[in-house]
Chains A and B, each alone.
Chain A
């Protein structure tokens, strides 16, 4: 009796549970659902963005004058500019715009282009550094970017730089993004040039427009009906924050996601042989490296540094730990870039290393600390390096920690050895690698050039600095190629304390029914061409 009386609410509860029924699977034909981690997305204003994920999103919202080729990395393709020519003296570039409209319906005018660049320099946020490197300043922006007429934009170089470098830089999402000046200024608040407004709205001319951004949750893009190019097949793109690799994998398998961008190697491995799922691996920006601090006296000795070069098991690391993370690479210039020489062919050779160490004054080896992030793959890399270093008599104690603890120590120049990742390369030109990894104009502690790995490792080589500057400004292709060959040979000789052993690659898994999906190594993957073939 009593049982019966009490059962009713229980039954109601279980009914509620059953009512939900089976889950709906399969994403709709005209919507693309992408899983990735949004932890690094702090803003969607192209002048202020940092990191790869924002570039992935905004590449589909903003056009540049040109765009970086996803396959042939040293080339650029027309975008808002139909064509361009470089002046005889190499000191200015003239871009000719196509007829196009912004998503708002406003026409794309030369005025908008010039305004976008001036805004970038004036706000002086993260993305401005791309142009500042080549001498552009907020003060001189008026003269550097001009619009002689409605369809023409002239960029005047402030110093002698290879114009190709500037054209490539303008193809990067962020510094090169063109904004609808009229729309942005209508939404300006307290002289912020629209920064606040742009975090929730967009003013671009690419295939999609930003509908909504919810931090660590989602970014919603809707088709831009005023797009000047071919109409994309997708009505909406939904970027979902799915930080865990295993969740991305489950959702991809259950067809709740079309593309998964941040899968761990274990999951990529498991997905490799799954029907209906494909994996694309593309080179990306940066390297995995073993770095020493030349603030530590022992590493000022080039013999000791050279010994380390032979204590890295290049093949073992790349085969066992780095599949889907990196690809064997020993030069500090990214694969496919202008001027890259073949790998020098360093191998794991503990005997030679021991000899070098003895010559350097360490016949009995040495004790060092080796720092690594406590994440995949750094922890495993550190463990493996610990083993290979030991064979040469270098006894490494592994210190693991968070980014603050590991890279923080590096920024303070307070470390012995570190296994890390970095080294530029978003701008597809060797100059970007060189500046990130080797260049160091001022080696004093006070300089705090923490964005240069050269400074962080206390490495400064006058000759290399000069060569790097020369390489950036040289206009003639053949001479330039020769300069980068010289740089690489010089590096081989002086052994900078940062030894790359692998080039970063990214792997994305996606449903096999997607067509036209090509991951761009510079992160600016164009999704307007993606269709679903069902």
Chain B
């Protein structure tokens, strides 16, 4: 029903994005996904205002006040170099958001390009592209990222590249499937008859139609991205010291875990909360996408 109305030639203004507002409203009605949205909002606010929220410089060492328990001006205590954990956590939100944003920015276009081109042209192009996609799909993302980071050298940017390299295939798959359904539609044939180039058709008619589902799929992916990045950081293959990346904070804090619980507890809770938030929102989105659900409510 919805696609009927959307099809009517308004391809110039990203028609696919129209229902997003409705989806958002749907999400807010559900307590679980509303909670998720709230946490994500907090995360974004935290990242924007990190310098204001932080009570200390996240990198400032104070070797006279190492491993101090929470309290005494340090809400979450200090780490092995006397750095304020609360401030590091707050600044860590920026790293987390950067990872999510960069991965999404890289993965979205790649996935869309591969998927739409494969789906649009079909035949040999399709086969080759989907074979490559399958090869990447045949790994669990963490293990492939691990191997890539090991190959590229451990650093935050390489971790992002590695995660991006491993998370585009599902997007490509999805975009291809969507493209296949749109390819035969009247307005695409019409555009072709008018002599529009393939590139133009893909960009103007097909990509906008795939966009909503791709965006949603990207959101669903974010929790995994966070966990993979944290896992890489934990293994020493992600963000490098002194960056306040949460997984790396846990990895170093682990050396002092028995006597100083606060070193690992707070970053762990932070990761859990944020990844749970994205998962809750993702779960809500899945319901929102289910037409049966949307209509019923």
Q: Which residues in A have some Cβ–Cβ distance to B below 8 Å?
A: 244-246, 249-250, 264, 266-267, 270, 374, 376, 380, 383-384, 400
Contact = CB atoms under 8 A, between A and B. Distances in A.
20 contacts: A244-B255, A246-B254, A246-B255, A246-B256, A246-B257, A250-B258, A264-B255, A266-B255, A266-B256, A266-B259, A267-B258, A270-B258, A270-B259, A374-B241, A376-B255, A380-B63, A383-B63, A383-B81, A384-B63, A400-B241
B255 A383 contact: no
Nearest to A321: B63
B65 interface: no
Residue from the set B63, B241, B257, B258 with the largest chain A CB neighbour count within 10 Å: B258
Contacts of A270: 258-259
Contacts of A400: 241
Contacts of A249: 258
Contacts of A267: 258
Contacts of B61: 383
A408 to B, nearest CB: 13
B37 to A, nearest CB: 31
A264 B256 CA distance: 10
Interface string B37-76: 0000000000000000000000001010000000000000
B63 A246 contact: no
A247 to B, nearest CB: 9
Interface string B250-271: 0000111111000000000000
A246 B241 contact: no
Contacts of B256: 246, 266
A510 B241 CA distance: 33
Contacts of A374: 241
Contact-size category for B: 10 to 19
A399 to B, nearest CB: 12
* Among all A-B residue pairs, the 10 with the closest Cβ atoms: A246-B258, A246-B257, A270-B259, A266-B256, A246-B255, A374-B241, A264-B255, A245-B255, A249-B258, A250-B258
Nearest to A384: B63
Contacts of B63: 380, 383-384
Nearest to B61: A383
Contacts of B258: 246, 249-250, 267, 270
B275 to A, nearest CB: 25
A264 to B, nearest CB: 6
Given A244-B254, A246-B256, A266-B256, 19 more contacts: A245-B255, A246-B254, A246-B255, A246-B257, A249-B258, A250-B258, A264-B255, A266-B255, A266-B259, A267-B258, A270-B258, A270-B259, A374-B241, A376-B255, A380-B63, A383-B61, A383-B81, A384-B63, A400-B241
**Binding site secondary structure of chain B:** loop
A470 B117 CA distance: 77
A266 B81 CA distance: 13
Contacts of B241: 374, 400
A534 B99 CA distance: 56
Contacts of A380: 63
Contacts of B257: 246
A267 B260 CA distance: 11
Contacts of A266: 255-256, 259
Contacts of B255: 244-246, 264, 266, 376
Nearest to B258: A246
Contacts of A376: 255
Nearest to A376: B255
Nearest to A266: B256
A376 B259 CA distance: 17
Nearest to A400: B241
A400 B63 CA distance: 18
Contacts of B81: 383
A459 to B, nearest CB: 32
A89 to B, nearest CB: 56
A272 to B, nearest CB: 13
A267 B254 CA distance: 12
A383 B66 CA distance: 14
A383 B81 CA distance: 10
Interface in B79-99: 81
Interface in B221-265: 241, 254-259
Residue from the set A246, A249, A376, A384 with the largest chain B CB neighbour count within 10 Å: A246
A267 B259 CA distance: 9
Contacts of B259: 266, 270
A264 B260 CA distance: 14
A286 to B, nearest CB: 23
B159 to A, nearest CB: 16
Residue from the set A244, A266, A383 with the largest chain B CB neighbour count within 10 Å: A266
A120 B258 CA distance: 46
B175 to A, nearest CB: 39
Nearest to A387: B63
B255 to A, nearest CB: 6
Nearest to A264: B255
A249 B255 CA distance: 11
A390 to B, nearest CB: 14
A266 B254 CA distance: 12
A117 B81 CA distance: 50
A245 B259 CA distance: 13
Contacts of A384: 63
B249 to A, nearest CB: 15
A146 to B, nearest CB: 50
Nearest to B260: A266
B151 to A, nearest CB: 15
Nearest to B242: A400
Interface in B147-169: none
A250 B256 CA distance: 12
A266 B257 CA distance: 11
A500 to B, nearest CB: 23
A370 B258 CA distance: 32
Contacts of B254: 244, 246
A251 to B, nearest CB: 12
B265 to A, nearest CB: 15
